[in-house]
Amino acid sequence: MNDDALRQALAETQGRRDVEWHGRSLLVVNEDWGELVVSRHGGHLLHFAPKGQSGWLWTTSTPKPAPGAIRGGVPVCWPWFAESPDGQGPFHGPARTADWQIDAVDDETEGVEVHLSPCLRLDEQFTPRLVIYANTKRLKIELITEHCGKTPAKLTQALHTYFAVADTHACRIEGLAGTRYIDKLKDNSESEQLGELGVRGALDRIYHSSQPLILDDGQRRLRIAKQGSDSSVIWHPGAEAPSDVLDSEKMQFLCVEAACTRLDPVWLAPGAQHVLAMQVTLES
């Protein structure tokens, strides 16, 4: 974790409490099993660390002022991924900058379970909710979409996870060999992944895959499994860091996203629901 204010909030927390951070309301959890930080702005998981381990997620130390989207953690891209279908809505949808409420915080076996829903209606036909499960051995996030409208409708989405790594250029992603992908940095050209994926510069690829992946940064191996997703998005800005990322931090993260993109949009009938889930565990 890069942000001093978040570090201090966790250090001063025993149990669970609410904290203000850069104009946002956070739920901070520091218990015997580990740590969790959730922002009500965006329904955004910012930090997770099992007891005795460094954080699995990266969050910028220089976030944009609210109501701008927070870079890092697990932004919720919903009800569309990337550009809006009509070209009018915000990039990655309204969910990641909306206000969410925490509906319940329940004890899980050696951990906690957090339920969230938006404070206001975000879409005419769809309604989302989030469930975050965190304990000593795993992190799981479920993005549940219910169709409350009257006609079939299409959905794209992503759990845009920023994983904390020792050095982006030392990372290897296993599980994509032989997979077709769209390269958004090369005019959306289509290619096939040969062997493991290494990171040597800017990346923005959509892999057509539902398989679990291993993120290995040379110091830690994380297994990233998912449900309800046939797209895996791998993203890093490369040498040109975005304005809300310090140059000293740009090699400390890599995005590996469970998604439903234009390769696998979800069509829902009225009354139906879809679950996009990601589960992360530590490989021994």
Q: How far apart are CA 186 and CA 170, in angstroms?
A: 23
Q: How far apart are CA 78 and CA 128, in angstroms?
A: 8
What is the average per-residue pLDDT within 37-64?
97
Beta bridge partners of 266: 155
Q: Is the peptide bond before 270 cis (omega within 30 degrees of 0)?
A: no
Q: Can you give the pLDDT at residue 119?
A: 98
Q: How far apart are CA 130 and CA 41, in angstroms?
A: 13
Q: Can you give the pLDDT at residue 108?
A: 84
Instruction: Give the rounded distance of the alpha carbon of 124 from its chain centre.
Output: 24
What pLDDT band is residue 4 in, cutting at 50, 70 and 90?
confident
Q: How far apart are CA 87 and CA 139, in angstroms?
A: 34
Q: How far apart are CA 65 and CA 77, in angstroms?
A: 19
Q: Is 112 left (phi over 0), alpha (psi -120 to 50) or beta?
A: beta
Residue matched to tokens 């002022």: 65
pLDDT in tens, 249-274: 999 999 999 999 999 999 999 999 99
pLDDT in tens, 109-162: 899 999 999 999 999 999 999 999 999 999 999 999 999 999 999 999 999 999
Question: Domains of the chain (ranges plus CATH)?
Answer: 4-282 (2.70.98.10)
